[in-house]
Amino acid sequence: MLSCLKHHRFATQTLALLMLALSALMNGSSAEPGAPTQSARGAGSQGKEGSNQQDELATQCANKLDYLLKNGKAAHPDPKPTVMSEAEINAYLRSSHVVLPKGVSGLQFQGEPGVVTSDLKVDFDKLASTRGSSNLLLTLFAGTHSVQVISHAHATAGVVHAHVDSVSMDGMTVPRFLLSLYVEEFLKPKYPEASLDPTFKLPSRIQSATVGAHELTLVQR
């Protein structure tokens, strides 16, 4: 198994196709909450089973990332598609393999054809504090909020093209001009790659990346 740090760097680049927004509700990958009449012991057992299932999903995702790294080093990479399910990706993001940016937590993705919805909690004061800003409009980006981002994304010829369609905080849509201002003034100095319309090259000879219904398909050549 590759080191957690190496996994994190590779996953950050590869899953950035999904990232963009940062992502969505799990689809039945975790155990259902126990019924009110369930015993405490039964609930604990069920919780352990759910935890084991999440560990298994995270391991499956990590193994696929391992494969992509190794396949990308081959003289002639196997072009057979690698499919990563939404459940695997979300479990991986919650595992010890990934260290999210300071101030970001609870990140989950949901994929539909060409569209990524991201749900997360953001402590803006830790991510990139706007304290001291002369622009009162930017005081919106303070404290901890539930954030949802909806993006379009695809990748061809090894290059990802994405567009952040909308961002909402605590259920309220944030005007795009405010998002642009926040990205330029506060995120770019700390994260130079930050953008509402990111374009970047994928690693390990990944030529195409397609967001489908609750899955991501990657092809290397």
Strands (E), 41-134: 82-85, 104-112, 115-123
pLDDT of residue 184 exceeding 50: yes
Identify the helix (H) or strand (E) that includes residue 63.
helix 40-72
pLDDT of residue 43 exceeding 60: no
CA 45/CA 34 separation, integer angstroms: 10
Question: Residues 68-107: pLDDT tens digits?
Answer: 989 999 999 999 999 999 999 999 988 887 777 788 888 8
Mean pLDDT of 44-59: 79
Mean pLDDT of 7-24: 36
**What per-residue confidence (pLDDT) applies to 44?**
52
**What per-residue confidence (pLDDT) applies to 192?**
78
pTM > 0.85? no
**What per-residue confidence (pLDDT) applies to 188?**
80
CA 207/CA 221 separation, integer angstroms: 6
- Token pair for residue 185? 């003034």
Question: Residues 105-153: pLDDT tens digits?
Answer: 888 889 899 898 989 898 988 887 777 677 888 888 888 999 998 988 8
CA 187/CA 213 separation, integer angstroms: 30
Largest CA distance in the chain: 59
**What per-residue confidence (pLDDT) applies to 80?**
96
